[in-house]
């Protein structure tokens, strides 16, 4: 009942992890097996290793967190040598999240990933709010967005291409349409929303980077709106995310038009969430006599039939 298809891959459920909240699959193995997910989305990779932003890098706010990790990661070479070999054990499709400071860097990263057989998808993050170069600056400019997708599409011949969009734009549909026009295979949204907190004791910003990205349940209604808007204009599938903390949230994203839903920040407070959500989704299918959970994808868009 939870089995679904995504861009030609069979998934055992429509769930993945939100990049940056699940490491490379090693973090939660005491709580559930990675292959209980439909797909695994890795933490962001950059060309060179990055140590990330100065501490503190996390601030708790009402119903969410603000992070300014700044893409800490071991860089492409170590990723290829030490992390990629661990993927075969997971036996589910892997989405690798890529981040560049320039279009050339995105291109080099995509070329390298193109030849790695254990990776199914590339997710281009053009929406990170915590880095000085690239990131959100790319994903909020329609001309640069088009250029990045075009260049990466040319070199990424063997993998499916997913574009991760920024919520920090006035019309998300414009960016989704650009990605579709440039032959992206799917869209993922939303990334975190630029935010900050002041520490009352120090009278200074809490985060070392001053500004970070807001995530968790407080951003869910914004994410639902954006998934709904994007689903109403594109034909390519959507991975929806932003504040998922229950099966009800997953259902809401599916009904808004997401084909797959990613779970992120809520894993920090409940590492057993994936298993709990799957149990509840199965119950929902039985109670609502659904043959498959995918039957509700985009159902919120269907017009009411009036019998007059």
Ligand X SMILES: Cc1cc2nc3c(=O)[nH]c(=O)nc-3n(C[C@H](O)[C@H](O)[C@H](O)COP(=O)(O)O)c2cc1C
Q: Return the number of the residue (203 or 213) whose C-beta is nearest ligand X.
A: 213
Q: Return the number of the residue (112 or 286) whose C-beta is nearest ligand X.
A: 112
Among 50, 159, 160, 164, the residue binding ligand X under the rule CB under 6 A is 164
Q: One symbol per residue from 122 to 161: x for binding ligand X (CB under 6 A), - otherwise; what is it?
A: ---x--x---------------------------------
Q: Return the number of the residue (21 or 259) whose C-beta is nearest ligand X.
A: 21
CA angle 68, 148, 173 (to 5 degrees): 80
To the query of whether residue 128 is one of the catalytic residues in this protein, the response is: yes
Q: Smallest gap, in angstroms, from Cβ of residue 184 to ligand X?
A: 15
Longest dimension (CA), the chain: 66
Whole-number Å distance between alpha carbons of 39 and 189:
16
**DSSP single-letter state for residue 144:** H
Q: Which of 128, 179, 218, 285 is catalytic?
A: 128
50-82 as b/e, with b when 16 or more CB fall inside 10 Å?
Answer: bebbeebbebeeeebbbbbbbbebbebeebbee
Among 24, 43, 134, 253, the residue binding ligand X under the rule CB under 6 A is 43
Q: One symbol per residue from 96 to 115: x for binding ligand X (CB under 6 A), - otherwise; what is it?
A: -x------------------
Among 180, 192, 209, 294, the residue binding ligand X under the rule CB under 6 A is 192
Burial of 170 (0-12, 13-18, 19+ CB in 10 A): exposed
Query: How many residues in the shown chain lie near ligand X by CB under 6 A?
Result: 25
- 191 in contact with ligand X (CB under 6 A): yes
- 94 in contact with ligand X (CB under 6 A): no
Do 250 and 277 touch, CB atoms closer than 8 A? yes
Do 264 and 244 touch, CB atoms closer than 8 A? yes
Q: Return the number of the residue (68 or 180) whose C-beta is nearest ligand X.
A: 68
> Which two structure tokens, joined as six digits, stand for 213?
């990205």
97-110 as b/e, with b when 16 or more CB fall inside 10 Å?
Answer: bbbbbebebbbbbb
Q: Smallest gap, in angstroms, from Cβ of residue 3 to ligand X?
A: 23
Q: What residue has token string 């140590």?
A: 51
Whole-number Å distance between alpha carbons of 156 and 153:
5
Whole-number Å distance between alpha carbons of 113 and 109:
6
The helix/strand/coil state of 60 is strand
Q: Smallest gap, in angstroms, from Cβ of residue 253 to ligand X?
A: 10
Do 47 and 124 touch, CB atoms closer than 8 A? no
Q: Return the number of the residue (200 or 276) whose C-beta is nearest ligand X.
A: 276
Among 34, 40, 47, 69, the residue binding ligand X under the rule CB under 6 A is 69
Which stretch in 104-112, 139-147, 240-248, 281-289 sits in contact with ligand X by CB under 6 A?
240-248
- 195 in contact with ligand X (CB under 6 A): no
Which stretch in 12-20, 105-113, 253-261, 299-307 sits in contact with ligand X by CB under 6 A?
12-20
**Looking at the annotation, which residues are catalytic?**
128
Q: Which residues bind ligand X (CB under 6 A)?
A: 18-21, 43-44, 67, 69, 71, 97, 125, 128, 164, 191-192, 215-216, 219, 241-244, 263-265
């Amino acid at each position: 009942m939870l089995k679904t298809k995504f861009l030609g891959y069979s998934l055992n459920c429509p769930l993945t992890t939100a990049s940056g909240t699940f490491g490379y699959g090693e973090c939660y193995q005491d709580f559930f097996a990675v292959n209980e997910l439909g797909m695994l989305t890795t933490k962001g990779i950059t060309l060179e290793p990055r140590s990330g932003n100065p501490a503190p890098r996390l601030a708790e706010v009402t119903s969410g967190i603000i992070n300014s990790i700044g893409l800490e990661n071991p860089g492409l070479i170590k990723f290829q040598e030490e992390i990629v070999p661990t993927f075969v054990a997971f036996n589910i499709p892997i989405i690798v999240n890529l981040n560049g400071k320039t279009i050339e860097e995105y291109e080099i990263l995509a070329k390298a990933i193109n030849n790695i057989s254990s990776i199914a998808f590339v997710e281009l993050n053009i929406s990170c709010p915590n880095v000085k170069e690239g990131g959100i600056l790319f994903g909020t400019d329609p001309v640069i967005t088009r250029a990045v997708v075009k260049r990466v599409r040319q070199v990424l011949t063997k993998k499916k291409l997913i574009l991760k969009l920024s919520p920090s734009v006035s019309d998300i549909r414009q960016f989704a349409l650009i990605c579709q026009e440039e032959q992206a295979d799917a869209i993922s949204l939303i990334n975190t929303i630029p935010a900050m907190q002041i520490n009352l004791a120090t009278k200074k910003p809490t985060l070392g980077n001053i500004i970070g990205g807001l995530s968790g349940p407080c951003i869910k209604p914004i994410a639902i709106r954006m998934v709904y808007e994007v689903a109403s204009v594109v034909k390519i599938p959507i991975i929806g995310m932003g504040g998922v903390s229950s099966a009800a949230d997953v259902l809401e994203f599916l009904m808004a038009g997401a084909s797959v839903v990613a779970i992120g920040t809520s894993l920090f407070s409940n590492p057993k969430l994936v298993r709990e959500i799957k149990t509840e989704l199965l119950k929902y299918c039985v109670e609502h006599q659904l043959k498959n959970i995918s039957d509700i994808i985009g159902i919120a868009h269907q017009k009411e039939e009036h019998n007059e």
